[in-house]
Every structure is written in C-alpha cells, then in structure tokens.
Amino acid sequence: MTEVQHLTYTEDDIQVLEGLIAVRRRPGMYIGSTGSRGLHHLLWEIVDNAKDETLAGFNDKIIVTLYKDGSVSVEDHGRGIPTGMHKSGRPVPEVIFTTLHAGGKFGGGGYKKSGGLHGVGSSVVVALSKWLEVEIHREGLIHKQRFEYVVDEDGSEHVGMPVTELTVVGKTKRTGTTVTFLPDERVFTTTRFDYELIRDRFRETAFLLKGLRLVLIDQRGAEERREEFYYEDGLKSYVAYLNEGKQTLHPIVYFDGEKENIYVELAFQYNDGYAETLVSYVNSVPTNDGGTHVTGFRNGTTRVFNEFARRKGFLKDKDANLTGNDLREGFLGVLSLQMADVQFESQTKDKLGNEEARTLVEQIVSEKLGFFLEENPEIGKLLIEKAIRSAEIREELRKQREALRGDKKGKGAKKRKSISEKFAPPQYKDPKRNELFLVEGDSAGGSAKQARNSEFQAIFGLKGKPLNTEKAKLSDILANEEFRTILEVLETDIGDESSFENCAFDKIIIMSDADVDGSHIQALLLTFFFRYTQPLISAGKLYIAQPPLYQVKKGGKKPESVYCWDDSELEQALKKLGRGAEVVRYKGLGEMNPDQLWETTMNPETRKLIQVRLEDLAHSEKLVTVLMGDKVPPRREWIESHVTFEVGEDE
C-alpha cells in the first residue's frame, strides 16, 4: 500500500544505525549463537514482548505463523505499541525497532525484563533480518512500518533502515501488534524454524500464563498445520500433564501468594515414584539449576511438614526430623515466580541469585502449605507416612553401605581384588581428566579395553540391558549390581549432593551400538542418570559416543580410508575416493578392531562426542516418563525417533 522510499537521515539516526551494525558484526554477543538456537532467540524476543503485554494485563492471545518464504509473524491482541512521537522526534515504534536496548531507554512505565539473552530488544531482531514489518492496531487505525537491511550500490551497508515511515494503512475495530520478519540467511547457519520446538515452548508458556491462548500455524508444508494451547487452570494443568501416566497419590495442590512485590505460584502432586521433579521459573524463564527461590521453597516445605508431623503425633519427641530427601521422593511440582530486578547467579542464567526471594518464598510457602495441611489432614497423613517409610529405607541402605565399606577396608578387600570384573580402572586418579566409558556388549568392551589410553580412560562393560529405573523401587536400584558398581566407580551416592561435586570422573561416556538395542540401552542409562544423578548432567559430565556408520576404503598403491557419520558424509567420501571405493557399514561397535575404535570413537583428538544437556527439565521429565513408564504402549517407536533427551549441538 505504501511506496518503499528511503528516508533522509540526521546525525542521530546514523549513530543509531552504527549500534545495529555492531549487532550485525558480532551476532553471537547478542543472541548467543548463529545456529538454530540463535535463530529462535529472534522469535522468542518478539514473543516475549507479546508475553509482557499479557503480564501487564492487556493481552489474551498470541498467534505465530510460519510462512513459505521463511518469514515468521507474531501477533498479539494487546494495546498496540503507542504510535505517537518519542521525544527524539521520531515515532515510538521506529525508536523501539532501531535503537539498541530500546527497552531500557524508556524507563518508568516499562516492564522489567528477566535478563540473560531475553530482552535484548526488538532492534536486534531487525539487525539480523532481511526485513521486518510492524503492524499496529490502535485507536481505530492500522499503522504500518517496514525496516530493511540495505546495501547501496557503492557497497555501503544500512542495518535496520526504515524504508517506509510509520503510515496509516486502514481502519480497525481491534487493538494489538503484529511483527513479521525474515531472518537473514547471511547471518544464520540455518534459517528454518523448528515447529516442534516452538510448539513445546508454547505449551509451556500456556501453562505458566493461565488464560493466554497461543496459536501456532505452519504454512510451509503442502497442508497447513495448526495447534492451539490454552489452559484455564495454568500450573495445575502443567502438573497434571507432567504426571500423566503416573500413579498419583492425591489431588493436585495449588496455591499462590504475594509479598513485597514477589508473586509466587506453586502446584504439586506426589506420585508413587521415587524421584523428585521440581520445575521452576522466574518470569516464565526456566531456572534449571534452581537458586534462592528453590532453596526457600525446600526450607519452607521441610519445616512445615515436620511441624505438622509433630503436632499430629506422627513424629515423637525422640524421633529425628524428616529430611528434605525423605520428603522429596515422588514429589512433582512447578514453582513459578514473578518479580522485578532479577539477578542470576550463573553465567548460563539458570540459577536465581536474589537473596530476598529465599525468605519471601519460604514465608509464602510455609504459610500457605501450613494452611493447606490443616484443611486437608488426610493428605498430610499420607505424605508424612510415605516420608517416614523413605527415611527408614534410607537408613537401612546407609547401614548396608557402611557394612560394605567396612568390609573393603578389612579382610574382605583382599578377596575382592578389583571393584568388579567388568571395570578396568584408569592408571592415575585425576577427576578433572579421567573418562569412564560405559560400553555395550562383551566384545566391544574387550576391544575398548585394548583401544583405550589406560592413563586416563576407564572401561565399564555392560552386560545386557540395564535395569529400567523408571519402574524400579529405590531399594532395588541400590541393590542392583550394575548401578551400584557404577556409583561406586564414580564415587557418588544417590541422595548425597556433595558427592556429585567430587565425582571421580570428568566425562561419563555412553558407548552403544547404533541400532534399536543400542538406543534402548542408551535410554535406560540416561533414565538412571537423569533420575538419580541429575547434578552430573547439569555439570555437563554425561556424553554419548558417536561411532561412525561407514568406512569408505580404497586399495591399490596408495590405500585410502575415510570414516563417515552420516549419509551426506558418505556421499562426499565416495566422490572423493572415486571408482573402486568400497563401503563398509558398521552394524555394531564389535565390528571395529581396537585401532579403529580408538581412532573413530575414543581418541579425544578425533572422536565425536555428544554432550547430554538438561536444556529443559520439564521436557526431559516428560520424555523419560513416556519412554520408560509402563502406561504408554508405543514406547518402541518413541525410542527409535527420540533416541535421547536434549542432545545439544556439541559447541
């Protein structure tokens, strides 16, 4: 409707554009990476602005549409960005989309962003896009403005150039903001938006912001795909979703409270499992490593449960208090905070640092949970009795372990020469360097023992399928020879947080065949590590080895050989070696000789490892439940298509 025209620039405008050029030059500084994650950061940035309008109380709908040309739009039904003049003499939307960190410049009435890579500002999205259009419905009128990345004939570069003025293009009955943009393929290694990733994020957002409707539309395929998320019951629905397929012990408990501008919401429901799941958020940003709010929550619940147990006579004067560990078994809950001036403790922004959150969350939880237990004493009784049973089992196991340790120091030690036949230890003790390979199958285990650098690499040979820890009782897991030995070798103890920090190995590497049995073994081990040694995963110590799928060989005067990890590498290798090349397809680790195994899979200089990351606790939680639980029949297909949790790009 409006003609594209280049506007004239003032000195100030040029200053502004130089800011955006900085973004263009070093995108990683603003969005973390230029891979898929960075690409999606652009989208989250715009969606976050729409979410903020929801938190401000004015927006109940967000629609994201993925278009055939690679662009994406985000539409909200909020008040619409103000269209008046900014004190700089330019319209407010233009300032927002062309000024770096525009958010901060407005001060006062603006909303507090959560920090981290969130809230870098809409201008960053403009800077890394070929074009961006904003459409604002406000005061009965539709306003539009377009920005582009422009390179002039003389090669000079204009980042985020407003190529139209803010223009009225029609009339409207609603209000809201729509932003459409096309990420620049010169910036990103991939510009394809991931439908499943956006869908999972939308589901999570819908749980956290009750009453908000999120719609995802994908027009890229032959047929349009569309999903909608809306949860009237918010966190309660979230807990029901995470506990789906599990045996639960009581109706979902929900409460919220506010103190000194910190708003706390909690929903939980125990299941008959043994693991604890607490998914926590601050301003709807996941805090996977917890932080002060989680500590406050734990202190509060432990204290209130103990007070209740004493008052009702479940604990006698002579009895020790129930510990956090006793109370955690089978707990599944979501804790969500809204607060201003968020500070994160860690570089990764996964751990809340605000001290005031500890005391305020503890107070709110104590008060509300205390009240709940008074009102529902039968649920209180059930949970206390469960915790007392846990305490008894824990005590029993502690005695068993102590007996075992005493045994090793004494005469028994001589009889038991090594920890286990299946374990080949490294020569030197170096927790910062040592690697433990968990290897599927006897023959591969044998090869790996010969192949390894025994200075720092240890081998543990797995016999058959490990125990499914998702369905087993804690006492059975601790009695299980295989897992007990693994824990012993790692020098870690389930339920002893400090032992994980002192783990004897720097890397734990799962090495299994690239077939269905191999991925099942992988999934079983991941389940164990996820459920019972989560701090090791958070610390980035868990890896999956990647044996090659093919070897391309050519004989003759100058024999050559290339290993390939996927079909495109195979294609390239065949081209490179030309006629007469022969392809060996590896079906299992056992088919490689020790030299080959070392070179392709174990040598730190040449191997490919995938680090298992806990990107998203809730997602991993759901995956483990579906994969390993006994309530969901199509497990096999799941394992084949979703081999691991969140296996990150090995950056």
Nearest residue to ligand 28F on Cβ basis: 49
Question: Which residues make beta-bridge pairs with 179?
Answer: 74, 134
Closest approach of ligand 28F to the CB of residue 250, in Å: 40
Of 45, 53, 362, 482, which one interacts with ligand 28F (CB under 6 A)?
53
Closest approach of ligand 28F to the CB of residue 47, in Å: 7
- Strands 72-76 and 176-183 come out as antiparallel
List 76, 276, 289, 513, catalytic entry: 513
Among 155, 218, 146, smallest CA distance to 182 is for 146
81 binds ligand 28F (CB under 6 A): yes
- Give the separation between CA 393 and CA 412, rounded to whole angstroms: 25
513 catalytic per annotation: yes
424 binds ligand 28F (CB under 6 A): no
Closest approach of ligand 28F to the CB of residue 214, in Å: 12
Mask of contacts with ligand 28F, 167-206, x by CB under 6 A? ----------xxx---------------------------
Element (H, E) at 94: helix 92-98
161 binds ligand 28F (CB under 6 A): no
82 binds ligand 28F (CB under 6 A): yes
Closest approach of ligand 28F to the CB of residue 119, in Å: 12
515 catalytic per annotation: yes
Residue 74 or 315: which CB sits closer to ligand 28F?
Answer: 74
Residue 132 or 391: which CB sits closer to ligand 28F?
Answer: 132
Region from 37-45, 77-85, 433-441, 531-539 binding ligand 28F, contact rule CB under 6 A:
77-85
Indicate the Cα dihedral angle 619, 623, 625, 630, nearest 10°: 160
In this structure, how many other beta carbons lie within 10 angstroms of the beta carbon of residue 118?
17
- Give the separation between CA 117 and CA 245, rounded to whole angstroms: 35
Residue 122 or 533: which CB sits closer to ligand 28F?
Answer: 122
Place of tokens 């299946």: 422
Query: Which bin fits 506, alpha (ψ -120 to 50), beta or left (φ > 0)?
Result: alpha
List 258, 319, 396, 515, catalytic entry: 515
113 binds ligand 28F (CB under 6 A): no
Residue 179 or 242: which CB sits closer to ligand 28F?
Answer: 179
Closest approach of ligand 28F to the CB of residue 49, in Å: 3
List 53, 440, 482, 488, catalytic entry: 440
Region from 44-52, 143-151, 292-300, 317-325 binding ligand 28F, contact rule CB under 6 A:
44-52
Closest approach of ligand 28F to the CB of residue 4, in Å: 22
Region from 12-20, 75-83, 197-205, 490-498 binding ligand 28F, contact rule CB under 6 A:
75-83
Residue spans of alpha helices (H) in 329-426:
355-375, 377-409, 412-415
Instruction: Give residues with Cβ within 8 angstroms of 79, minimum separation 6.
Output: 53, 58, 59, 138, 175, 176
List 165, 200, 517, 591, catalytic entry: 517
Of 110, 353, 412, 431, which one interacts with ligand 28F (CB under 6 A)?
110
Residue 76 or 204: which CB sits closer to ligand 28F?
Answer: 76
Site size with ligand 28F, rule: CB under 6 A: 17
Whole-Å CA distances, 126 to 98, 132, 456, 558: 7, 6, 49, 53
83 binds ligand 28F (CB under 6 A): no
- Give the separation between CA 102 and CA 100, rounded to whole angstroms: 5
DSSP state, residue 312: T
Q: Is 129 exposed, middle or buried (0-12, 13-18, 19+ CB in 10 A)?
A: buried
79 binds ligand 28F (CB under 6 A): yes
Closest approach of ligand 28F to the CB of residue 252, in Å: 32
- Give the separation between CA 460 and CA 439, rounded to whole angstroms: 6
- Give the separation between CA 77 and CA 56, rounded to whole angstroms: 12
440 catalytic per annotation: yes
Place of tokens 């004989």: 555
State in Å, rounded, how far the first CA of the chain is from the last one: 45
334 within 8 A of 235, measured Cβ to Cβ: yes
Residue 72 or 459: which CB sits closer to ligand 28F?
Answer: 72
In this structure, how many other beta carbons lie within 10 angstroms of the beta carbon of residue 48?
24
46 binds ligand 28F (CB under 6 A): yes
Residue positions annotated with a catalytic role = 440, 513, 515, 517
Where on the chain is the footprint of ligand 28F (CB under 6 A)?
A: 46, 49-50, 53, 74, 76, 78-79, 81-82, 92, 106, 109-110, 177-179
